[in-house]
Chain A
Amino acid sequence: MRRALFAITGLAASTTALVVLKGSPGTTQVAQNLPTAQPVNPTGQVVDPSADPAVGPTGAAPKPSVTAGAPSSSPKPTRTTARPSGTKTTAKAPSAPRTTTKPPQSTTRRVTGPPVDTAKGYGYVQVQIVVSGSKIIEATTLALPSGGESDIHSGDVRDTYNGTGGEVVQKQSANLNTVSGATETSIAYKSSLRSAIEQAF
């Protein structure tokens, strides 16, 4: 009986450990941003300490997952340092030549949602949106279930939701109609999209 208790404790502990290890933020940020990193601004906005305070708040979304063209570092710590440096450099604000180059990069951002497991075990769905200002202008999928019948369902989902004129762009939210015949994939899509939208705005 003592050994059974030991084994059950081991089961609980190892399951928790596995989930925690897999979900630890250190690994997730790097792994997730690397493939999606989009060098919109070659100068690297986040590493620039003299960011214009007027542009800063809009450009610097507080959520960590916004890809801002800094593939060298995880955005989380740099983002937090950007704020104090912004207030510190208010005196420096009139550095005019810089500010003029900023606006175009801060308006278009790519935000990636997490990969979401479909409830039937078909595979993962991961959505990426392109945001301009406060509007979603494009939706793409980085991962969709594949193989066998899944190819057809994934195709339907892609055709319905994705693109510059898909349902995501039309509705500007995650309240999408479920694609018939691809219920699980739609649900996972919406879940990933919802997270991406929460991060973007």
Chain B
Amino acid sequence: MTHSHTHAAGRRTGTSSRHGGRSAAPVPPQIPARRGPGGRRLLAALLLVGLLASVLPWWLGTPAGSLRTTAATVTAAGRITGLIAGYLLLVQVLMMSRLSVLERWIGGEQLARWHRDIGATLLVAVLSHLSLILVGYADLRNHSILAEVGTLLGDYEDMLSAFVAAGIMLVVGFSSVRAIRRALPYEVWHLLHRSSYLVLLLGYGHQFSHGGQLYRPGPVRTGWIALYLLVVAALLWGRVIAPLAFNMRHRLRVADVVAESPDTVSIYLTGDRLDRLEMLGGQYFRWRFLTPGSWWQSHPFSVSAAANGRWLRLTVKVVGRHTADLRDLDPGTRVWAHGPSGTFTAAHRVRERALLIAGGSGITPIRAMLEELPPGAALIYRARTPADVLLSRELDWLAQERDTSIWYVIGSRDDPGPRQLMSPDGLRQLVPDVARRDVYLCGPPGLVEQSVRALRRAGVPRRQIHLATFEL
């Protein structure tokens, strides 16, 4: 495969160039073994047990009959929500530690969803902890609530930082509300979200200096500290040590950048020991291109070809400033990768056959997965115009090689053709056994939502529907 001559022609010209996919020819004959939901269930159960265990010290340490006054009851509720908030904060950080166990068993997409739901709960827990404790203490001391805030800030050690931590959490929480998040530039939102680590640090002290259950030395206090250490260790391992080891081993660099369509580029990467890279089609890495302009941001992109031992490829649609810069990458640029991650793979199928639905550039993970799915898969590829169809030559070739049926469905969402096809009846007509297939969906949110609705009505069980989405 020679990229160099097409490279000059394809880059920056904005016209479609040759299709780089022919070189994907060595189709790995082996189909990955299935991975059941056991790991995910085990982790979910562990987290729940931890939640119970974090409240248990309160239950055991509170003498019966101590909740007779309003102040005592309110304070007790404040302590419970405080313990829950402290635990959930640790869970939140753990989920974002990029620990490979979590990424493999739960998957980045699912983790992100859990992170969002637990995040909302955490915010509520922190706010109720704060207000319940304030009301309870104020009542105990016969203060006004404002005077109580003064007492806490003035006389209590570590309390100022705890208030700051709560403030940061509030900002992070609200900036992640979907509507607000969309209005913010990604970089701003990301920086805000990064400050959550400060919450971990600033909120630490007050739990031990004033936590009714953690104040006294003993197994509970020791256990809580151990939990903190564990999470910090996971964070270090998942975010620093493991990626360092990965990148030292593989030393990825850009080999070539090829235009696939006016607004899409494929980036080919080479590196060392790629034959030992364990990766499944459909998974993604978080990429950091080490150029002066963009080394500081990392973005998740799916790999658009299955592992072949020689090169990696990602295919990216140009939508923002960062992705626009990707067109100008020079061969030889070092790339810092973090992954692989994701459960959108052939290994997570629950049925023998699959239906894949791709929209626009959502074809990239599906293209990689096609090489690893059992024969007999079906692919519906939605695109607005014929020019938006990516990697079509590779797809046609794979269709032949892997016994896959492909339908290109071109047109706007409201055109009669696509509309009829993406309805329950249309899907059943096209793929009569759709209800007995795994369905893999990747594309713009509108298409995904519409398809999920149609699939559910066509009788596809929820657990057979797999989504690849970074939408939080």
User: Residues of A with Cβ closer than 8 Å to B?
Assistant: 1, 3-4, 7-8, 11-12, 15-16, 18-19, 22-23, 27-29, 31-32, 114-117, 119-124, 126, 143, 147, 183, 187-188, 191, 195
Contacts and interface: CB of A to CB of B under 8 A. Distances in A.
A22 B76 contact: yes
B63 A19 contact: no
A44 B216 CA distance: 41
Contact of B77 (A7, A15, A121, A147): A15
Contacts of A18: 55, 58-59, 76, 80
A119 B140 contact: yes
A119 B120 contact: no
B215 interface: yes
B69 A116 contact: yes
Given A16-B77, A18-B80, A31-B63, A7 B120 contact: yes
A19 B76 contact: yes
Query: Chain A binding site: helix, strand, loop or mixed by DSSP?
Result: helix
Nearest to B214: A121
Contacts of A147: 216-217
B73 interface: yes
B78 to A, nearest CB: 9
Contact of A187 (B55, B68, B118, B141): B141
Contacts of B73: 19, 23
B364 interface: no
A117 B55 contact: no
A31 B117 contact: no
Contacts of A121: 210-215
Interface in B100-146: 113, 116-118, 120-121, 124-125, 128, 136-137, 140-141
Nearest to B178: A1
B429 interface: no
Contacts of B71: 191
B66 interface: yes
Given A23-B73, A122-B215, A195-B69, A188 B64 contact: no
Nearest to B52: A14
B66 A11 contact: no
B64 A3 contact: no
Nearest to B71: A191
B72 interface: yes
A142 B139 CA distance: 23
Shortest beta-carbon contacts, A-B, top 5: A23-B67, A28-B65, A121-B212, A115-B66, A4-B120
A187 B63 contact: no
B80 A19 contact: yes
Nearest to B118: A7
B294 interface: no
A183 B59 CA distance: 26
A119 B210 CA distance: 8
A126 B62 CA distance: 12
Contact of B81 (A11, A116, A187): A11
